């Protein structure tokens, strides 16, 4: 009888451990995501800035990335839910400009960017994820390929859609389909820099230390093709906001 009772208890416990976890709560906002498959690529550049070295192999697990930068309209939904705080009312800050709902939210600090992504059941991309999403395994110089940038992105450089020196702000988030990366993400070059989750390092062999985080992608006031390369790294203080910096989320 004792052996039968023990077996019964074990069977009961086994059944208890087999209970499934509750499903995750749905996202309060429907973000348009594009899949990025797992893969290995060479990160960095031998002909870029010193902080883009050494070139090294990195494996990236599969993830999804937003097709566009987070827009003003999307960020306002987070504010309405009480999960995000307002951006400052400064020149060129889109939240306070008319007819900018479809433009990227800018003038966000690193914490504000992270708060939005967390509310959307997502997160900020790592620097590695961002670079892989931008140039894929074929190491494109720019998200769309190796051709010099012209009118396929929102920037202030030569042959832009307005002409060099005439850009006065961001573009609508889906306005430049020719800017698409190998996986279909738009504006990974130009429009706004995008926050990543990673601390900055002097190069890939050096430790990552605060309080500066890596931003990627260049911005609408970039005018040099080197500023919109897929391997370019830039640093920003976590507590600083800028009209050239926004974000996109990954899952």
pLDDT in tens, 100-118: 999 999 999 999 999 999 9
DSSP structure class, residue 92:
T
What domains sit in the chain, N to C, each tagged with a CATH number?
29-246 (3.90.1580.10)
Nearest C-alpha neighbor of 251 from the set 144, 119, 58: 119
What is residue 11's predicted lDDT score, i.e. its pLDDT? 38
Mean pLDDT of the chain: 92
What is residue 48's predicted lDDT score, i.e. its pLDDT? 95
Contact 251, 64 (CB under 8 A): yes
Under 8 Å CB-to-CB from 12, ≥6 apart: which residues? none
pLDDT, tens only, 139-169: 999 999 999 999 999 999 999 999 999 999 9
Instruction: Give the residue, 194 or 139, on which the prediction is more confident.
Output: 194
Structure tokens at 220: 């609408």
pLDDT exceeds 90 at position 13: no
d(CA 100, CA 140): 31
Angstrom CA distances, 41 to 2, 67, 144, 221, stand at 60, 21, 17, 30
Residue that is written with structure tokens 């429907």 in the block: 30
Strands 56-60 and 39-43, by their bridges, are: antiparallel
Cis peptide before 211 (omega within 30 of 0): yes
Angstrom CA distances, 100 to 159, 164, 216, stand at 24, 22, 22
Question: What is the reported pTM?
Answer: 0.90
What is residue 9's predicted lDDT score, i.e. its pLDDT? 36
In angstroms, how far apart are the furthest CA atoms of the chain? 89
Strands 193-199 and 245-246, by their bridges, are: parallel
pLDDT, tens only, 23-78: 667 899 999 999 999 999 999 999 999 999 999 999 999 999 999 999 999 999 99
């Amino acid at each position: 009888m004792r052996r039968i009772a023990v077996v019964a208890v074990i069977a009961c416990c086994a059944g208890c451990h087999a209970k499934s976890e509750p499903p995750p709560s749905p996202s309060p906002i429907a973000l348009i995501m594009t899949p990025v498959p797992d893969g290995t690529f060479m990160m960095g550049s031998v002909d870029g800035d010193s902080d883009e070295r050494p070139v090294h192999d990195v494996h990236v697990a599969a993830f999804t990335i937003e097709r566009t930068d987070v827009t003003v309209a999307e960020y306002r939904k987070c504010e309405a839910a009480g999960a995000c705080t307002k951006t400052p009312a400064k020149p060129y800050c889109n939240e306070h400009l008319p007819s900018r709902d479809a433009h990227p939210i800018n003038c966000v600090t690193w914490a504000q960017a992270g708060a939005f992504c967390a509310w959307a059941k997502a997160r900020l991309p790592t620097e590695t994820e961002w670079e892989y999403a931008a140039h894929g395994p074929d190491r494109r110089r720019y998200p769309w390929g190796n051709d010099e940038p012209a009118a396929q992105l929102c920037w202030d450089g030569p042959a832009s859609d307005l002409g060099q020196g005439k850009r006065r702000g961001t573009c609508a988030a889906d306005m430049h389909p020719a800017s698409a990366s190998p996986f279909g993400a738009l504006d990974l070059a130009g429009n706004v820099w995008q926050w990543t989750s990673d601390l900055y390092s002097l190069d890939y062999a050096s430790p990552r230390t605060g309080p500066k985080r890596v931003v990627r992608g260049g911005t609408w006031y970039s005018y040099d093709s080197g500023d919109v390369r897929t391997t370019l790294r830039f640093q920003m203080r976590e507590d600083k906001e800028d009209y050239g910096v926004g974000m996109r989320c990954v899952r």
